[in-house]
Amino acid sequence: MSEITVGQTYTLKPSTPRGKPLGANVTAIKRRGLGHTVEYRSGGKTMQCSMGKFKDRLAS
């Protein structure tokens, strides 16, 4: 899997079965404890999740 870079837009799988895929623009990658947190903007909201969860939600 490719590296996540700041400034790129990625397509994420929907969080519910009936949901639509969403575009996420990565704004920051922060070091937190033993892992990393990805901060992204989607639909005018700023959200964050762990690097592993973000990679799992990436649409292929």
In a 10 Å sphere around its CB, with 0-12 CB exposed, 13-18 middle and 19+ buried, how is residue 53 labelled?
exposed
pLDDT (0 to 100) of residue 15 = 85
Residues in the chain: 60
Share of the chain above pLDDT 70, in %: 97
For the chain, what are the domain ranges? 8-57
User: Does residue 14 register a pLDDT over 60?
Assistant: yes
CA–CA dist 33, 37 (Å, integer): 10
How much is the mean pLDDT over the chain? 92
pTM: 0.85
**Across residues 27-49, what is the average pLDDT?**
95
User: Which of 11, 18, 17 lies closest to 42, judged by CA?
Assistant: 11
